[in-house]
Amino acid sequence: MAYTDTDNKIPEDEGVFLLNLETAQRTLLHSFKQISSVNFQEGMNGGLNWVNHLLFNTDGTRLIFLHRWREQHIWKDGKLQGRWKTRMFTVGTNGKNPTLIADHGMVSHFIWRNPTEILAWSTEPETGNRFHLYSEDNDTATVIGEGILTRDGHCTYSPDGEWILTDTYPDKNSMQQLMLYRPSDGKLIKLGEFYQSKSHRGEFRCDLHPRWSRDGKTVCIDSLHSGTRQMYILDVSNIIAEAQ
């Protein structure tokens, strides 16, 4: 979430909330003031701070969120100017044990592998922009798919944890790639390419956003390759069986 009081750049009564759907009770887990106090950077008090992409871990005990901010709050032609910076936090659903996981300016798409490990497209000083597997237990960041998964994508683990399903943004030929990757042996399976015209970019784009069925036999994507925005289901059960 973000906030509307732009005079108070780092409020202590706004931030990450937990909402009880049965009682509608809202609990502040981690405020912007608490978030910004960890490895504070001067640019945080120059513009807006916000959090987004909140996601529970696989056993519901912790959640992850991205902290983003702009060093300046300047509007021009109806748009905010300048790029934001991003870092990644986790916190318990009881508000305890907040942890700064990635703090080097860029974190994009991510997914929990299990209750304590997170796969994310991010930047690290020694490896640059890669898919990194972060561990809350030992504070490590291990590159996943070196030389194979070379582009940012919407990553997600199969229900059995054996495969990573991911995609890409359109390439120079306006094709979006959909693929499976098995970290245990580096096996890559290209599932398909999907065309997206240049007229559907920016806010009007349609990312594939691949996701698994709960039994791990099919995957679902969003696509504009037919000319209209649709959802498609792909059966990958035979492909996975043949790869065993």
Token representation of residue 147: 């030389």
The amino acid occupying position 234 is: L
Q: Beta strands 85-92 and 99-102: pairing type?
A: antiparallel
Confidence (pLDDT) at 170: 95
Q: Is 119 exposed, middle or buried (0-12, 13-18, 19+ CB in 10 A)?
A: buried
Write the pLDDT tens digit of every residue in 58-82. Answer: 999 999 999 998 776 666 676 666 6
Query: Residue 201, SS3?
Result: coil
Note the maximum CA span of the chain. Answer: 59
Query: Which pLDDT score, from 0 to 100, does residue 40 have?
Result: 87
pLDDT above 60 for 213: yes
Residue-level pLDDT at 76: 67
Q: Tokens in use for 122?
A: 């991010």
State pLDDT tens for residues 150-159.
999 999 999 9
| H/E element, 36 | helix 32-37
Please tell me the pTM assigned to this model: 0.90
User: Which of 96, 68, 93 has the alpha carbon at shortest distance from 83?
Assistant: 68
